[in-house]
Structure 1
Amino acid sequence: MTAEQITAERTAAERSEAAARRAGVEVRELREIADFEAVAALFDTIWKAPPTAVPITVELMIAFAHSGNYVAGAFEGERLAGASIGFLAGPPGTTLHSHVTGAAVGRGIGFALKLHQRAWALAQGLTRITWTYDPLVRRNAHFNITKLGARPEAYLPSFYGRMEDAVNAGDESDRLLAVWPVAGPRVAAACACDVPEPAPAPADAVVALGERDDRPVEGRGDGRVLLVATPRDVETLRRARPATAAAWRRAVRASLGGLLDDGARVTGFTAAGEYIVERS
């Protein structure tokens, strides 16, 4: 291991510990069945999934932890307040795929878990962490792109098929694949700043997908830099106006998915809830 790698690993661990202190938690890897059962109970309060559609089972967490994968929890004293589970992915020796993370929103616990995950990955000699998220959920896009410095690299239509939990039921499970190069300068800078500012919309950007009266509006697709809007609160739309939520799903799939399929790349996410997409 080089001196630069040792320094990066040490700095990542320090930032992880600092983020945990700010959130008022201790983040640690889990080994005991009682801890895995507490994760299952916590996730049930978040997703309210039927028994046949839980995010992850206790048995699978045990197997992951036993075989050297990532299973960690954030504790407030003795109470579990968040957890994250990931598994080693290909190419071998390079990637951790973060399968599921759940925590209270707005308290910094999710940020602390991700920084712990990053420090763990660097200590294992890994170069990146990947995960999927719903492209319509603004707070997740802001968290992943702005706060963590990750970048979506692929649009995955109906990735998980039909989902029956309280968060996703009634909608298709389109996902973006986020890629987090754990030693990259953008990621290191994001992890050093607790609340980075959202990216401003470039002056030359054109609107590929806009919003009017909470509905998607198709724009132009001929710019080098394009903006793709998202709904203000898709989870409320799914419950109150499912047809509008479905319209947003189709519109973002066609616009953002089409651009990524054509080789464009996401470079930021604005305060107004727009993906900034640039053609090469």
Structure 2
Amino acid sequence: MEMALEEAREVMEQATARAGVRVRPLTETEDLVEMEALFTAVWEHPPGSVELDISLLAALARSGNYVVGAFREDSLVGATAGFLCEPFPVTLYSHVTGVDRQRAARGTGTALKAYQRVWCLERGITGVRWTFDALQARNARLNMGRLGAGWASFHVDYYGVLRDGLNRDTGSDRLLLHWDLSRTAADRDAQRPADVTHTLLSVGSAGEPVLGAAPTAPTRLQIPTDIDALRASDPALAQRWRDTLREVLPGLIATGWQVVDFDDRGAYVIVPPQQEESL
């Protein structure tokens, strides 16, 4: 554990320096009001609607849970809120993370996650869970490719019908992830297969999902590079991608396949259970 914490502190220092941010807990009302406003803007909520309101943020922040912000100079440009969850007391549920991409430098999201790892390990918390849309390639690259989180389960319409501007009318299918904070970068690198030749899911010539043969060895699951742009230009095709993941992911997860990377070509790299155990 000490090796993981030492690595986490070094990674945090590098990540915050690259993004040009200062990350710290938020407890003062003024900061929490600014955080509520940031989340509302990031998710494009209509008037009268918020992602997390000030009363809940204050309750979380002042009861030992995780409420943290990233500042560029004196401006709040990113934030995260989370709370302890099962299995207690070693797991944090990271409920929401938002970054103002108009004002934040690239790498702010990475800096927030790097800080989160240090905060958790210093308190004996060894795992973080959160959900994300499996069709979001940028998030997948951070979550799996850089952090090394793995999928725990897949849920259709996890949050029901969402009303924010980013997710309205898109469904709320989510992957639940688990990030083992005790694993070092060397551990993650050793788990990644050297050469993956099979592709289970790829992007066709017209942008459509193309399914290959059922895999028995490490394989790739490619997704669109920008699902938000695809939703805007071709909602029906975007829905085909969502339907395809609903068809593919639950079975893979149920039979023990594990995601070990998200590669530079925009694909999840997954391995069968016996391969994952032997790496």
Q: Is structure 2 residue 224 aligned with structure 1 residue 210? A: no
Q: Is structure 2 residue 73 aligned with structure 1 residue 77? A: yes
Asked if the contact 1:209–1:216 (Cα under 8 Å) also holds between the matched residues in 2, the reply is: yes
Cα deviation for residue 8 of structure 1 reads 4.1
Cα deviation for residue 219 of structure 1 reads 1.8
Moved over 6 A (4+): 187-190
List runs of 5+ in structure 2 lacking aligned partners. 274-279
Asked if the contact 2:196–2:219 (Cα under 8 Å) also holds between the matched residues in 1, the reply is: no
Cα deviation for residue 17 of structure 1 reads 2.9
Cα deviation for residue 174 of structure 1 reads 0.8
Q: Is structure 2 residue 176 aligned with structure 1 residue 173? A: no
* Cα 1:279–1:54 shift into 2, 3 Å: same
Task: Tell which deviates more after alignment, 13-22 or 116-125.
Answer: 13-22
* Cα 1:203–1:84 shift into 2, 3 Å: closer
* Cα 1:222–1:31 shift into 2, 3 Å: closer
Task: Tell which deviates more after alignment, 63-72 or 219-228.
Answer: 219-228
Asked if the contact 2:223–2:266 (Cα under 8 Å) also holds between the matched residues in 1, the reply is: yes
1:149-164 alignment, distance < 5 Å = 149-164=148-163
* Cα 1:162–1:266 shift into 2, 3 Å: same
Q: What is the TM-score of this pair, normalised by structure 2?
A: 0.88
Cα deviation for residue 69 of structure 1 reads 0.2
Q: What is the TM-score of this pair, normalised by structure 1?
A: 0.88
The aligned residue for residue 17 of structure 1 is: 13
Q: Is structure 2 residue 259 aligned with structure 1 residue 266? A: yes
1:1-80 alignment, distance < 5 Å = 5=2, 8-50=4-46, 54-80=50-76
Cα deviation for residue 238 of structure 1 reads 1.5
Q: Distance in 1 between matches of 2:28 and 2:212?
A: 53
| Count, aligned residues | 267
Percent identical: 39
Asked if the contact 2:259–2:269 (Cα under 8 Å) also holds between the matched residues in 1, the reply is: yes
Cα deviation for residue 56 of structure 1 reads 1.4
Q: Over residues 247-278 of structure 1, what are the superposed CA-to-partner deviations in whole Å (9 max), with x where a residue is unaligned?
A: 00000121123211222111222222111222
Asked if the contact 1:95–1:130 (Cα under 8 Å) also holds between the matched residues in 2, the reply is: yes
Cα deviation for residue 52 of structure 1 reads 6.5
Asked if the contact 2:40–2:50 (Cα under 8 Å) also holds between the matched residues in 1, the reply is: yes
Asked if the contact 2:220–2:270 (Cα under 8 Å) also holds between the matched residues in 1, the reply is: yes
Q: Distance in 2 between matches of 1:121 and 1:68?
A: 12
Cα deviation for residue 71 of structure 1 reads 0.3
Cα deviation for residue 160 of structure 1 reads 0.7
Structure 2 letter corresponding to 1:172: G
Structure 2 letter corresponding to 1:91: P
Asked if the contact 2:7–2:184 (Cα under 8 Å) also holds between the matched residues in 1, the reply is: no
The CA RMSD over aligned residues, in Å, is 2.1
Q: Is structure 2 residue 222 aligned with structure 1 residue 229? A: yes
Structure 1 letter corresponding to 2:137: R
Asked if the contact 1:86–1:100 (Cα under 8 Å) also holds between the matched residues in 2, the reply is: yes
Q: Distance in 2 between matches of 1:104 and 1:21?
A: 18
Q: Over residues 94-148 of structure 1, what are the superposed CA-to-partner deviations in whole Å (9 max), with x where a residue is unaligned?
A: 1011101111456111111111111110111111111111000111101111111
